[in-house]
């Protein structure tokens, strides 16, 4: 069944930001596909929360979704946090952080993924976050004010190639940051951008940089600026008594791929993030290519995001694209994950009668030997059952209901989760 979100729709969805383990949710609001209505969902009950807390909010002015991260005193440990690139076919273009206490920031320990659909980062979006690595959308044109300030575990980062401005306080007090290449389109580095990054030893500043404001490298006592002779960066370094290493304007090829594990393990319907880097850090072409030997077991996109598909083993090859012909392999083991309800599964604007759906679109990692029951909060509106891998939904009358999904194995009964539905008997075509 096709889902549409039209321009006039003002919709606030509270959705999980990571691949789930077991999702359970109560729904306190309704989205019925009617563009004249606004669906928000109760702030306490209209939320799906597993390993992260957040929401996606529809913005009708640009027909896209924004992602909001929220602080939480009950956050759970996780390795990776992955922002979806689209919701209901609409791109996720903005990333924001609603913070009450930075110590409760819902972030992963190893890595964060901001998809290429995102064009806007809120100021201080990752303030005090303690992840080690991050993939940033290549659609970004600036690093926002204070975006990474106080990120004490961030040791290395590849900035998107389209960045033009690094704003004030962007990396202030990133005390583990050791080296960074500034992309060739950057023109301005605003004040305090790298202030007190005490372990920053290497930074490449391209000839495109024409403005470096006050105190950008204050407290970076170990720093060497890699730059071209007679460039603005070179003159700035000499004026401020910062060591330099001169580079020619010739192409510099990669000599090594680093920061890749030899093997990884991921569950079905889960993701793993690879964060390889190229040496030397100032190599001209930083782009890498990724290939999976068997995409039916594990897929990988060209940003290093690995998705487990089915149980098995395969190999992912990571290659340079600058003609240096370097490559490295990562062995991938995919294990079957736990049963889970697809956090984005919902049914709205159902017509009266019975409609069939693939049950695996609703249930992840379904046990073929178990039976599954669906209980409706209002059977006079709609009911559902699962037969031979098919979800059959019978819509009876106008209204909204909640379907609760339960797994039964022998005498054991386990509630998997719930999702909302709506029936529209007045639907016109």
DSSP 170-192: TTTT-TT--EEEPPTT--EE-TT
Domain boundary among the residues 307, 335, 363 is at 335
Q: In the chain, what percentage of residues exceed pLDDT 70? A: 81
> How many C-beta atoms lie closer than 10 Å to residue 380's C-beta?
10
Residue 194: inside a domain: no
Per-residue burial over 114-127, b if 16 or more Cβ lie within 10 Å, else e, is: bbbbbbbbbbbbbb
Radius of gyration of the chain (CA): 24
Count structural domains, the chain: 2
The parent domain of residue 296 ranges over: 256-335
The winner for highest mean pLDDT among 44-48, 51-55, 266-270 is 266-270
Residue 101 has a pLDDT of: 56
CA distance 381 to 394: 9
CATH number at residue 280: 2.60.40.1080
Q: Are strands 298-300 and 305-308 parallel, antiparallel or unpaired?
A: antiparallel
Q: How confident is the model at residue 42 (pLDDT cuts 50, 70, 90)?
A: very low
Query: What is the pLDDT at residue 49?
Result: 32
- Among candidate residues 276, 304, 335, the one where a domain is terminated: 335
The last residue of one of the domains, among 302, 335, 368, is 335
Residue 344 counted as domain residue: yes
- Bridge partner list, 416: none
Q: For residues 380 and 397, what is the distance between their CA atoms, to the nearest angstrom? A: 7
380 and 402 in a single domain? The answer is yes
Specify the pLDDT at position 81: 83
Query: Is residue 339 a contact partner of residue 366, using CB atoms and an 8 Å limit?
Result: yes
Q: Let me know whether 318 and 353 are in one domain.
A: no
| Structural domain includes residue 304 | yes
Residue 399 lies in a domain: yes
Identify whether residues 419 and 364 lie together within a single domain: yes
365 and 418 together in one domain:
yes
Give the DSSP letter of residue 359: G
Q: What is the pLDDT of residues 101-126, one digit of tens each?
A: 555 555 567 888 999 999 999 999 88
Is 160 among the domain residues? Answer: no
Most confident range (mean pLDDT) of 21-30, 60-69, 102-111, 150-159 is: 150-159
Give which of 279, 232, 235 is closest to 260, Cα–Cα: 279
pLDDT digits (tens, 9 = 90+) for 375-387: 999 999 999 998 8
pLDDT tens digit string along 74-110?
A: 444 568 888 888 876 789 899 887 655 555 555 567 8
Residue 418 inside a domain? The answer is yes
Domain-located, residue 134: no
Tell me the mean pLDDT in the region 206-222: 97
Tokens standing for 175? 């005390």
């Amino acid at each position: 069944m096709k889902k549409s979100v039209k321009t006039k729709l003002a919709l606030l969805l509270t959705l999980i930001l990571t691949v789930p383990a077991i999702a359970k949710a109560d729904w306190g609001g309704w989205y019925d596909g009617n563009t004249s209505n606004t669906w928000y969902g109760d702030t306490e009950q209209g939320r799906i929360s597993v390993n992260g807390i957040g929401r996606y909010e529809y913005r009708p002015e640009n027909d896209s979704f924004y992602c909001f991260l929220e602080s939480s005193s009950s956050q759970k440990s996780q390795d990776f946090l992955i922002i979806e690139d689209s919701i209901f076919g609409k791109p996720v273009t903005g990333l924001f952080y609603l913070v009450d206490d930075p110590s409760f920031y819902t972030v992963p320990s190893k890595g964060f993924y901001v998809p290429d659909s995102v064009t806007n980062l809120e100021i201080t979006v990752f303030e005090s976050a303690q992840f080690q690595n991050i993939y940033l959308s290549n659609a970004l044109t600036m690093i926002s004010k204070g975006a990474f300030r106080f990120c004490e575990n961030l040791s290395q980062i590849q900035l998107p190639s389209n960045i033009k401005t690094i704003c004030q306080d962007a990396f202030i007090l990133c005390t583990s940051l050791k080296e960074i290449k500034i992309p060739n389109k950057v023109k301005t580095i605003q004040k305090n951008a790298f202030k007190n990054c005490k372990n920053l030893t290497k930074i490449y500043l391209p000839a495109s940089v024409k403005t470096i404001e006050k105190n950008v490298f204050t407290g970076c006592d170990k720093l060497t600026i890699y730059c071209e002779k007679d460039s603005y960066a070179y003159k700035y370094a000499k004026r401020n008594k910062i060591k330099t290493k001169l580079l020619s304007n010739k192409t510099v090829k990669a000599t090594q791929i680093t920061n890749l594990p030899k093997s990884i393990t991921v569950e079905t319907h889960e993701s793993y993030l690879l964060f390889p880097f190229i040496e030397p850090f100032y190599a001209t072409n930083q782009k890498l290519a990724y290939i999976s030997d068997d995409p039916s077991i594990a897929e990988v996109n060209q940003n290093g995001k690995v998705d487990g598909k089915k149980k098995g083993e395969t190999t992912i090859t990571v290659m340079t694209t600058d003609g240096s012909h370097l490559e490295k392999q990562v062995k991938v083991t995919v294990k079957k994950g736990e049963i889970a309800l697809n956090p984005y599964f919902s049914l709205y604007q159902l017509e009266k009668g019975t409609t069939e759906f693939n049950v695996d679109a609703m249930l992840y990692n379904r046990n073929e030997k178990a039976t599954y029951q669906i209980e409706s909060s209002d059977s006079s509106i709609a009911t559902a059952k699962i037969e031979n891998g098919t979800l059959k939904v019978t819509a009876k009358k106008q209204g909204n209901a909640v379907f609760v999904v339960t797994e039964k194995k022998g005498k054991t009964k386990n509630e998997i989760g719930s999702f909302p539905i709506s029936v529209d008997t007045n639907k016109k075509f």
